[in-house]
Amino acid sequence: MHDLVIKGGLVASAFGAVRCDVGIRQGRIATLGEALDGAEVLDAQGLLVLPGGVDSHCHIEEPRPGGGTTEETFASASAAAFAGGTTTTVSFIPQWRGHDVWERYVDYRARAATGMLDHAFHQIISDPTDQVLEEEVPKLVAEGVRSLKVFLTYDNVHVDDRGFIRVLETARKLGCLVTVHCENYEAIRWRTERLLAAGLTAPHYHAWSRPTVVEREATHRAIALAELVDQPIQVFHVSCGEAAEEIARAQARGLKVWGETCPQYLTITARHMEGPDGAMFMCSPAPRDEAEHANIWEAIRRGTLDVVSSDHAASSRAAKQGADFSVIPNGLPGLAARLPVLFSEGVSQGRISLEHFTRLVATNPAKLMGLYPKKGVIAPGSDADVILWDPKREVTITNALMHHAVDNTPFEGKRVTGWPVATLRRGEVVMREGEITGRPGGGQYQPRGAYEMATPRGITPQGFGA
- As a whole number of angstroms, the distance between CA 451 and CA 449 comes to 6
394: β partners? 417
Backbone angles phi, psi at 93, to 5 degrees: -85, 125
SS3 172: helix
Distance of CA 135 to the CA centre of its chain: 28
Question: What sign does the CA torsion over 41, 44, 48, 52 have?
Answer: negative
Compute the least distance from the CB of residue 313 to ligand DUC, in Å: 4
Residue among 94 and 346 whose Cβ is closer to ligand DUC: 94
**Position among 222, 313, 378, 386 found at the interface with ligand DUC (CB under 6 A):** 313
Contact partner at residue 264 from Zn ion, ligand DUC, none, CB < 5 to 8 Å by partner kind: none
Binding residues for Zn ion restricted to 180-239, rule: CB under 5 A: 181
Number of residues near Zn ion (by CB under 5 A): 2
Per-residue binding string, ligand DUC, 354-373, x by CB under 6 A, is: --------------------
> What CA–CA distance (Å, rounded) separates 208 from 43?
51
Residue 4 contacts by C-beta under 8 Å, 6 or more apart in sequence?
23, 24, 38, 39, 40, 41, 42, 384, 427
Q: Of the candidates 2, 59, 359, 448, which one interacts with ligand DUC according to CB under 6 A?
A: 59
288 binds ligand DUC (CB under 6 A): no
Tell me how far, at minimum, the Cβ of 284 lies from ligand DUC, in Å. Answer: 4
Name the amino acid, one letter, at 213.
Answer: V
Q: Which CB atom, from 78 or from 284, has the smaller least distance to Zn ion?
A: 284
Among 84, 85, 331, 427, binds ligand DUC (CB under 6 A): 331
Say whether 412 sits in a helix, a strand or coil: coil
Query: Is 383 an interacting residue with respect to Zn ion (CB under 5 A)?
Result: no
Q: Of Zn ion, ligand DUC, none, which one sits near residue 330, judging by CB under 5 to 8 A according to partner kind?
A: ligand DUC
Of 409, 271, 267, nearest to 342 by C-alpha is: 267
> Does 284 contact ligand DUC by CB under 6 A?
yes
Nearer to ligand DUC, 36 or 282 (CB): 282
Q: How far is the CB of 60 from ligand DUC (least distance, A)?
A: 11
Contact flag: residue 263 with ligand DUC (CB under 6 A): no
With CB under 5 to 8 Å by kind, the binding choice for 158 among Zn ion, ligand DUC, none is none
69 binds ligand DUC (CB under 6 A): no
Q: Is 181 in the site for ligand DUC (CB under 6 A)?
A: yes
Could you tell me which of 311, 121, 153, 154 has the C-alpha nearest to residue 219? 153
**According to the binding rule CB under 6 A, does residue 28 interact with ligand DUC?**
no
How many other C-beta atoms are found inside a 10 Å radius of the C-beta of residue 302?
12
| Residue 253 identity (one-letter amino acid) | R
Residue 363 makes CB contacts below 8 A (sequence gap 6+) with: 51, 372, 376, 377
Residue 283 interacts with which of Zn ion, ligand DUC, none, CB < 5 to 8 Å by class: ligand DUC
Q: In this structure, are strands 257-261 and 28-33 parallel, antiparallel, or unpaired?
A: unpaired
User: Which residues in this chain contact ligand DUC in the complex, by CB under 6 A?
Assistant: 59, 181, 283-284, 311, 313, 330-331
